[in-house]
Amino acid sequence: MKTTLFKSILIANRGEIASRIIRTCKKMGVRSIAIYSEVDREALFVKQADTAICLGGNSPSESYLNQDKIIEIAKNQKANAIHPGYGFLSENASFAEKCRKENIVFIGPHQEAIQAMALKSNAKALMQKSGVPVIPGYAGSDQTLKTLTKEALRVGFPLIIKAVAGGGGKGMRIVHAKQELSAAIEAAKSESLHAFSNDELLIEKYIPSGKHIEFQIFGDQHGNVIHILERECSLQRRYQKVIEESPSPALTKSLREKMGAAAVNAAKAIQYDNAGTVEFILDISTQEFFFLEVNTRLQVEHPVTEEITGLDLVQLQIEVAQGMPLSVNQNDIVSDGYALECRLYAEDPAANYQPVTGTIHQFSVPKVEGLRLETAIESGSQISVFYDPMIAKIIVKDKTRQSAIQKMIYALSQMVCLGIKTNQGFLKNLLEHTDFLEGGYDTHFLDTHHKDLIINKNPKRSNALASIACTLFDWNERESKRTLLKHIPSGWRNSFYEPLKEAYKTAQDQQITCQYRFQNGAFSFWIEDQSFEVKMVSITGSKIHLEINGMLSSFEIVKNKTAYFIHNESTGAIELHQQSRFPEIKKEKKPGSYEASMPSQIIKILVQKGDEINENDPLLVVSSMKMESTIVANQQGVVKNITVSEGQNVEAGFLLLQIKEK
């Protein structure tokens, strides 16, 4: 087979995966071509590429899913190949075919393999023929409610309903009882139709205590297929992964060999010829494993495998796409040490992981041996409503699982990401949880332990320390600007006994009153029933060093108008809002008004003007940052006014509709 070396590769993606691919292109001496939407114009990956071309638009359909525009740019730039990364067009068989017709290499598996795995029902049937264990269930063509109900009752409860064209948890429902079945089927069909233009479902026996184990597979165009060990991906929220690790603490040597062999059989069944992943569910109680799906692309968590094997999976992708045989065989694959990856998201874990938008004013990661960061974020970067809210992937490698976890906890304690809510503290709590440390967790772990993982372990003290840091940060700024009466002590008053005051509110609306006095070069603070003796050591830029009750502490502070974003290794990231000394005039919210809680797109309007509404009736379906949610009525009434239309993008606080009482 002829080998063709690529001179230029267009990267049909954005964010951290675009940066990751650019890095390997530079390593291989290949020209990288980035494409970007309007909102990504100033993004880091755009600056890193050798060439960058604007696609126009902001939404995925206008930009990173615009197949014709992407291929046009590739042709104009004389790109030999297109690397799709993950998401967007990475598993789109029609796009792979368009590339082939234009004599542009699609860096991924051949389109027939993508097509074969695109529908879960087809994939399941094909795997069953190849001797790969599959979960008992129904994947037939008769999709009537009657047949689906009948088959569900045959499978038994609990069961799981999945969209055959699904992914990322869309069109998926767990059903525990017969009375839940009809509603779950209708909801899954509706969500699947909107997300994938296909409302077909499959039904499977649900494994209540399972481990999500995936095997990295790799094939070339010469018939060689190998697996590159496993990744444990059981820690998920909304069916999306949060932490991945390898080796899995759940696998014995024997079980690893059996699952690896099954993964290779699955790849051979579709003549697989690039990077991919075979996903399994492992029943903890029986140690049986079953096929879930094949992801026909590079996975988000591929750095975990790279760290324990020393391989560059993106380079391997490019080499086999050029027609080269795999440079490694199965005997070469050996695990060295242990690797762990955490996904840092712009989201609020306490609000059901609701994604957030805004500016990351300060972003820095400590220098730690064995720490790897994959991101396209820097200080000043924007998290927009249009794309996935992942900020970065933090990867550590060490000799043992325990030492890698310890290193990751340290990295999360020292990492600074200020300006918006993130899951940084949540990740740290998760890593410190006893069940995680012992490896005894399953796919329900985050749901079961959610309350334990979102708590601030000492909120009273943490908020007090943050308010002291903010107060002295401002005090120093005022002092540096003083030009008159410098001989008078700061905060001088007619009554010496009356302390100075500052008031703050936390992001959870908790009031903090901070009283303090400056005397003899030091500060005394009183916050509720806590007292602190504080000395200011130094301030450099956004970093303030304080001695608090004899202990030196450092705080990173970003101030945006009256909002303060504070980070300290013991408190984590805290958001405080300075309160005005004057009464605040609040905008009155009209009864029956429903507003967007965050920037969103209106997916579906479920009611019409004049409709009678009961409490908990669904009103609208909105989407933000790849997450759909349904807004429901909190009262009885009649729809008075609808102020949005389907497909419209709205900002946070935008009025969506109004309901008046009957």
Length of the chain measured in residues: 662
- Residue environment code for 235-245, b if the CB has 16+ CB neighbours within 10 A, otherwise e: bbbeebbbbbb
Q: Is-contact 211 234, C-beta < 8 A?
A: yes
Name the nearest CA neighbour of 222 among 272, 266, 263.
Answer: 272
For residues 25 and 7, give the distance between their C-alpha atoms in angstroms, rounded to a whole number: 10
Provide, for the chain, the percentages of residues in helix, strand and coil under a 3-state DSSP scheme, each rounded to the nearest 5: 30, 35, 40
Q: Is-contact 91 298, C-beta < 8 A?
A: no
Place of tokens 């049909």: 12
Cis before 247 (ω within 30)? yes
Q: Is-contact 346 335, C-beta < 8 A?
A: no
Q: Is-contact 590 583, C-beta < 8 A?
A: no
Q: Where are the alpha helices (DSSP H) in 322-458?
A: 401-414, 424-432, 434-437, 445-448, 450-453
Residue 308: CB partners within 8 Å, gap ≥ 6? 229, 246, 247, 335, 336, 337, 338, 339, 397
User: Of 237, 297, 343, 401, which one is the catalytic site residue?
Assistant: 297
Tokens of 379: 């200080």
Place of tokens 């030196």: 552
Catalytic site residue 372? no
Strands (E), 199-274: 201-205, 210-219, 225-237, 240-246
Tokens of 585: 């005039």
The 8-class DSSP code of residue 491 comes to T
Structure-derived torsion over alpha carbons of residues 613, 618, 622, 627, reported in degrees to the nearest 10: 160
Tokens of 540: 């450099």
Characterize the bridge pairing of strands 649-650 and 600-605.
antiparallel
Residues known to be catalytic: 297
